[in-house]
Amino acid sequence: MKKKVQRLMYWTLILVGTTILTSDLLAQDTQIKKKDVLKLMEKVADWQIQFISEKKPRNIGNWEYAVGYTGIYELSRISKSKSYRDTLLSISEKLNWKTGRDRYHADDYCIGQLYSLQYMQHKENKMIANFMDLADSIVIKPHNESLAWKNRIASREWAWCDALFMGPPALAYLSTATGDKKYLDVATKLWWKTTDFLYDTTEHLYFRDESNFKKKEINGAKVFWSRGNGWVIAGLVRLLQNMPADYAGRQRFEQLLKEYSMRIIQLQQPDGSWHSSLLAPNTYPVKESSGTGLYCYALMWGVNNGILDAKTYLPVINKAWYTLTSCVAENGKLGYVQQVADSPGLCDENSTKVYGVGAFLLAGSEIYKYLDKHKKFMF
């Protein structure tokens, strides 16, 4: 009986997905304009900031919000409004420039990215003092544990793929802020430790964690979560952003970005998005904006920095951005964000989360930079 219900749900989702794909096909001949990108970014950010102001959540320093702040920060660099910068400073002051309680859990020091960026703007030692203390203790740890998914390993090591957005960029931005190479060195060392454990060299994708090694989707494919892999590729470009051109080992990271990006674009769906399950898109046949935003961001960053070929990737980015814009409601609320999870799942137009907004704004910021130099997308 249980299997019959699962099969019924599966085919129902496929039928629903076919309708969604048909209705979401976008006219790609409409030219993206820089002013429209900025206007939409501000609209989405304003909705999110108002939501935070009204709801007054207690967890404004956790990873969900920290990811959102990375996007708002990038918006603050291109918007004429000072409100975004002031909002972020106010939040950091409320947090007293501290990271989370679970000291070595990457989620709990993702906020360090924001602190380092703010320090580079304002040069106030209080902004990074607490995070530096934590980072110094990370540097001297032996990091010799297995990444097997047990014994609360996530509180000590980067044992799940999401951590590659939360942890390495935080240390890398601190390295840039302080000029101290040791933080970048430990970030790169631990990046490869996690990659050696979670990267599937056949599929060129990352498992979420060890518990997924043997799992299968309904269609028999391996389980590779879209947002999980989005965390990885976005973390990769943020790490590269803080890596000097002559840094030992940089070429290996660039090669990973090229290999990984080529695989990712093969999995883009006709609607321009990446569905929640990369190898079983019809299992969850709905556009998903958080993973799509992270891919759009990373691919555009790669083009902007001369690592990825523009002719190959701009059409993909173009489709992804139009799909992302279709996820924004009239009031600025970003929908189709899969809720907090560790595996693929469904979402709808009412599903929103601040980390999805962060991904959207990061993507928009890189598209804005491209258009600022090139005026229009050139295929």
The confidence band for 222, taking pLDDT boundaries of 50, 70 and 90, is: very high
* SS3 of the chain: CHHHHHHHHHHHHHHHHHHHHHHHCCCCCCCCCHHHHHHHHHHHHHHHHHHHHHHCCCCCCCHHHHHHHHHHHHHHHHCCCCHHHHHHHHHHHHCCCCCCCCCCCHHHHCCHHHHHHHHHHHCCCHHHHHHHHHHHHHHHCCCCCCCCCCCCHHHCCCCCCCHHHHCHHHHHHHHHHHCCHHHHHHHHHHHHHHHHHHEECCCCEECCCHHHCCCECCCCCECCEHHHHHHHHHHHHHHHHCCCCCCCCHHHHHHHHHHHHHHHHCCCCCCCCCCCECCCCCCCCCCCHHHHHHHHHHHHHHHHCCCCCHHHHHHHHHHHHHHHHCCECCCCCECCCCCCCCCCCCCCCCCCCHHHHHHHHHHHHHHHHHHHHHCCCCC
Q: What is the pLDDT of residues 279-307, one digit of tens each?
A: 999 999 999 999 999 999 999 999 999 99
Full-model pTM: 0.93
Q: What is the pLDDT of residues 302-352, one digit of tens each?
A: 999 999 999 999 999 999 999 999 999 999 999 999 999 999 999 999 999
Which has more confidence, 16 or 116? 116
- For position 377, what pLDDT does the model report? 79
pLDDT at 4 over 70: no
> Looking at residues 232-246, what average pLDDT do you find?
98
Active site residues: 162
The residue extents of the domains of the chain are 31-374
- For position 30, what pLDDT does the model report? 63
pLDDT above 70 covers what percent of the chain? 92
> Looking at residues 114-143, what average pLDDT do you find?
98
CATH number of the structural domain 31-374: 1.50.10.10
